[in-house]
Structure formats: C-alpha cells, structure tokens
Chains A and B, each alone.
Chain A
Amino acid sequence: MDVYLPIANLSVNGLWIVALGGLTGVLSGLFGVGGGFLTTPLLIFYGIPPTVAAASASTQVTGASVTGVLAHGGRGGVDYRMGMVMVAGGVIGSGFGALLFRFFRSIGQIDVVISALYVILLGTIGLLMARESVQTLRGKGNAQAARRRHHPLVASLPMRWRFYRSGLYISPLAPLVVGIAVGILTMLMGVGGGFILVPAMLYILGMSANVVVGTSLYNILFVTMATTMMHSLTTKAVDIVLVFLLLVGSVTGAQFGSQLAVKAKPEILRLILAAIVLMVAFRMFLGLFYQPDEIYTIYPL
C-alpha cells in the first residue's frame, strides 16, 4: 500500500509504517515507555529524513501515552501533582533542547551528538536494568530492601512539598530538574524519555512503584505535546500523514501490550526491555565507529 508523505516528500509502504507503530505500541503498553527510542532510528533507517522522523515520532508518542494515562489514571496510578511539576520542567527543558538542537546543527554535529546520546543513555540504562532483573530472577540481592528511599542530594533541597500518591515529602525542585533533563532529551533525540524517567523516579526521587509508570506517561504526554508544537513552529517537520499511520499501529499495539503486561512476570518484562534497549544502543555504537554508508550529507541553506 503506497502512501505519499507530504512533508517527508516521498512515498512509503504504509503497512510497514503501521507495523512499526504497532511494535512501539506493544512496547509502550508493556513497559510504560513511549517507544520513541525505537521509532526514530527505525524511521531514519527506512529512509525518512531524520528531522521529520524525530518530529513525527514525538507526536506519535503523545497518542500512545494518552491511552496509557487513561488506563493508569483510572486506577489511581498517576501522581498529578508530581506530574505537573515535571511537565513544567519538561516545557522549560524542551526550550533549552531547541536551542541546543540549533547550535549543534549550525556546527554540523547534530547527528553525532544524537548517536552519542543514544549510546551513552541507552547503554547505561540497559545495563542497569539487565543487571537488576537478572539479580531479581536469581532471587538474591533483594533490591527493594537494600535501596535508599531517595538520593541524599534530593533530601538536602529546600522547600518541601507533600506528594501524597508518591508517598513523598520532598522539594519540588528535584522533579523539576528531572523534568528539565528529560525535556532536553525529548527535543534532541525525538524520544518521550520514559526509559530515563522511570529509573530516575525510582532511584533518584524514590517514588512508590505503583505510580511510577502512570506518572511517567503523564509527563511524556504533555512534554511530547510541547515538542510537537516546538517542531511545528521551528523545524516544520511534523508529517501528519506519517503520524496518522504510526498512530493506527501504536494505539492498537498499546492495547495488546497492556493486556500482555498483566499476564507476564515483571522481572522477565524488564529483562526483555533491557535487551531491546541494549540492542539499539549497540547498533548506534557500531554506527559511530564503522565507516558510515554516507560520507556526505546535504543540508539545505
């Protein structure tokens, strides 16, 4: 099924794009991540211009997270207060991200920066997740009991607020900073940031586990909305037809994903997610060191 993408300026096989959206949808339903970290590289690999891929992927993540937020919100799994603080940070962060994007683009290193970020972040988080899930599966090193409630740095910040659903009494500055960091990454990498947000909420803020996924999705929802607007106004690279095709796949996939998530063991799920994350990181790592297919790249002036 040939579909012409009016902003990307080329025709693609629509079924492939729907399938790709479906794959990321299953991931988001299963793990509570947006799946943007997979969509953007795969779209680029398919031949979509990188800017269009990043911009459209962030719009798609909005749709995928709506479903998740609704589901989690229904059973009290979203800490709205915490979420709003993070969203505020995320909007600030995406502004910074846009500036950084323009700076790295002007010196011509944006693709290297993006690949390096992918390798470092996905590599670190993938390894951490893999180690933890293997330990849990073997039944030794009970991580729950051993870990601190939250990072000592967080406790030293002034002005404390109560976050009832997270079971926390901490300074709102901590989630604000986390939000800013994720906002910057969203703009630069075209990802929702769930794969960074979830560990940050668990290990830095020490939020209670049952609100982590829902609150993360809540944050992703609003931050990707902000990024979509930012992209529409600056790069003008959001391809609405591409977004539609991705969404058809991902909203359906997300439903299957969340049904699967109920049945599967969380440790196994986390191990699978770790493997996928590590695979993407490894592929990006090779890309940095192997001679690229294209030595030359064209930038319109």
Chain B
Amino acid sequence: MRALLLLAFAFALMGQRDPILVPEVSQHEVQVRQGFTGTELLLFGAVLDPQGRAAGSDYDIVVVLKGPSEPVRLREKERFAGVWVNAASSDFRSVPSYFAVASSKPIADIVDEKTAAIYEFGTAYIQLSPSGVIEPEEQARFKAGLVDLKTRQDLYKQDFQGVQISEQVLYQSRISLPSNVSTGTYTAETFAVRDGRVIASAQAEVEVRKVGFERLVARYSQEWSLVYGLLAVMLSVGMGWAAGRLFALI
C-alpha cells in the first residue's frame, strides 16, 4: 500500500516539471535628465510550463531589484559628555545603493527563513559583506541601522503585496525609483516559488544613467575639475556682475 502511494507520488512529480519564467521590464534604460523626479519600473512576465502552456498550479512570485553596490563606512553617534559625537564605526564591502523586494504574499508565508536569507527576500536579508572583526550582535545593530537609514531615504523597500498574479500565468509589479538613485546597472531578478522552494528564476538588467547636460556636468566635475571649478567661479562672478549692472540701470 505504502509502496503504491510512493509510486503515485513519483508519477505526479514527473508530470510536474519545473516551469519557465519569461520576465520583462518596462524600460531597460532610465535616463536621468533635467526635471528627473524619479520613475516607476514595471516588472512583468509570465510563468509557463515547458510545453508553453500556463503553469497551472499555485505559485508565488518574488521580484528583487538591486542597484550597483559600493563599499561604505557606517559611523554610529553616541552621547559623550552630553554631546553627540561619532563613536564606533563599521565597514561594509558591498552595500547596494538601491534595494527593493516585492512579493505576491508575505515572505514568511512562502519560504522559510533560510531560503529567504539565501535569495535576499527582504531588506533584513541583504548581504552587505561586513569587513573586519566585530561581534555578531554589534554587526546586526549596524546592519539594522544602515537598512533603517536607507529605508527612510526611500532607497530600500519591501512590499509584500507588490506583485499581482493574474490567471496563474501573468505577474506584474510596480517598483518606484526615487530621484536620489545612483547611476549604474540595476539587476531585476524574478523568482517563482512553490512549496517553500524556488522553482525558477530569471534576471533582467536596467541601466540608469545621466544623459545630456546632467551627464556633462557629472563628467566635467570628475575629469576636468580645474576647468569645472573655473567655470563655477566665472558663473558666479558673471551673475553677480550682471545683476549689479542691471539694477544700476533701473
């Protein structure tokens, strides 16, 4: 009896092959130009079985959008003789400049904590690669502080109702980029999850870059800093002088 059941189960498993994810992003390039106030990316796609039909069964979708990483030093203020000064600090080698997670259900309901940590499902699970030797509790405190700060800058976010799935085939999620995003290559990863297991994943890239005048200014200030400085001085002297002349006429 038991052997029979097992056999039936095995057959059922064979019939249920891993589905395919077909992801897409509404725009592969975000142009930061004058008047840029942030933008909204639409991450959408379909989940199909290998025969190209609707995957049919229940699954959940998690999307993770990550900006380019940078090494940072995080300093913590402490009260010292009544005055708040920077005291302890901690270094992190790869802090994503932007991080957003959206899912169709609360993460805790679809995967266990270990899986969530592996796939970075949630701002609490971002892998920051801390460097140096500090105690785990202290490290956790610093990490929480960093995530909290970035969350309030609107750069880290999680939305557990952010993915809509229709007809068990199509999914879509809207993720907003604020105006203070860093430029660089962003990766949008989509995961299909069933029975607490990631059954399919796919990746797409979004390029965020400055264009036109904004790109020129950013490049000049870095590569031609002497010319840039002189231009800034000339601009302010010129405007001050012109205003003086103009008002003298009135």
Contacts and interface: CB of A to CB of B under 8 A. Distances in A.
B239 A108 contact: no
B243 A255 contact: yes
Given A112-B86, A243-B236, A11 B229 contact: no
Interface in B230-244: 230-233, 235-237, 239-244
A284 B35 CA distance: 33
A10 interface: yes
Instruction: Report whether over half of chain A's contact residues are helix, strand or loop; otherwise say mixed.
Output: helix
A112 B70 contact: no
B72 A3 contact: no
Nearest to A47: B180
A60 B229 contact: no
A300 B247 contact: no
Nearest to A25: B243
Interface in B203-237: 210, 213-215, 217-218, 221-222, 225-226, 228-233, 235-237
B232 A238 contact: yes
B34 interface: yes
Interface size band for B: 35 or more
A6 B214 contact: yes
Interface size band for A: 35 or more
B197 interface: no
A240 interface: yes
Interface of A: 2-4, 6-7, 9-11, 59-60, 62-67, 70-71, 108-109, 111-112, 116, 225, 228-229, 231-233, 236, 238, 240-241, 243-244, 247-248, 251-252, 254-255, 288-292, 294-301
Given A240-B231, A297-B74, 7 more contacts: A4-B37, A232-B229, A243-B236, A288-B83, A289-B82, A298-B73, A300-B73
15 contacts: A3-B34, A3-B35, A11-B179, A67-B241, A67-B244, A112-B86, A116-B83, A232-B229, A236-B225, A240-B235, A243-B235, A247-B240, A298-B146, A300-B70, A300-B72
Interface of B: 32-38, 70-77, 79, 82-86, 89, 91, 95, 142, 145-146, 148-149, 179-182, 210, 213-215, 217-218, 221-222, 225-226, 228-233, 235-237, 239-244, 247
